[in-house]
Structure 1
Amino acid sequence: MVRADKRQLEQVLMNLVVNARDAMSEGGDVVIRTQSETFEKAQERDSAVIPAGDYVKIQVEDFGTGISPEHRQKIFEPFFTTKRTG
């Protein structure tokens, strides 16, 4: 069982992979891995708490040329893009 919205998870992964593909104009690979994880005790970060239990970790990695230095500081801005209009 997964405690997630299947459509949202699918959309997040698709957006991530499509954006990575579009950014790798000179080629590269995108790798998606899954792995079972068991937390023996609760995991806390800031105000979020993940209870102890069994989970699945999803890891996405791309092996493209990388993000240019002038774009790195902007990558978490919600409307930043390097794509042309249209």
Structure 2
Amino acid sequence: MGLISLLWGIVAMIWMVVALIPLLGWGNWFLIPFAAIGAVIGAIGVLFTRSERNGRAKAGLLLNGIVIVVGIVRLGMGGGVI
């Protein structure tokens, strides 16, 4: 679960960078649910993995959380959230 969440977070980060380009901000509407699924996978990985082996799950959870926050802020700045 940790590796899946980490890879999901990396893909979400790449997608976030693309969605920061002007006129591509609509990608945040798809990015936020995508990253939320990755965060859920990471949380499950943290819960069900031994504490010495859950570093990848924590990293994936953190990456997906950052992407969610940046996506919401970007939508708020661009007027996508009313």
TM tier relative to shorter chain? 0.3 to 0.5
Structure with the largest fraction of strand: 1
Compute the TM-score of the two structures, normalised by the length of structure 2: 0.32
Pick the structure with more helix per residue.
2
Q: Give 1 or 2 for the bigger CA radius of gyration.
A: 1
